Amino acid sequence: MKMTIEPVSAFSSLDVLVAMDEGLFSAEGLELQMASRESRDIRSTTEGALSSPVTNQGRLQERGEATMFQG
């Protein structure tokens, strides 16, 4: 089984990063990949407002390039 997720950081996904590095997904038969964002996918949150924020989360999932993202 293969799955791609959007990029994550240690502050919110230390468990995922450790599972990837220590082969814990592989042991479950899962080949987990982390997508990388291209420059076109990255917009600054300073372009947004509180009620109309600009976020990069979910963009790859929307395009079908990742199965999940962390919200």
Question: Which residue's CB is nearer to other proteins, number 1 or number 39?
Answer: 1
Looking at residues 6 to 25 of the shown chain, list those that interact with other proteins (rule: CB under 8 A). Answer: 9-19, 22, 24-25
Looking at residues 25 to 64 of the shown chain, list those that interact with other proteins (rule: CB under 8 A). Answer: 25, 27-30, 32, 44-51, 53-58, 61
DSSP letter assigned to residue 67: S
Nearest approach in angstroms of CB 23 to other proteins is 9
The string of DSSP codes covering 34-58 is E----GGG---GGGS-SSS----TT
Residues contacting 61, CB < 8 A, separation 6+: 6, 67, 68, 69
* Tokens of residue 39, six digits: 């420059």
Contacting residues toward other proteins, per CB under 8 A: 1, 3, 9-19, 22, 24-25, 27-30, 32, 44-51, 53-58, 61, 67-71
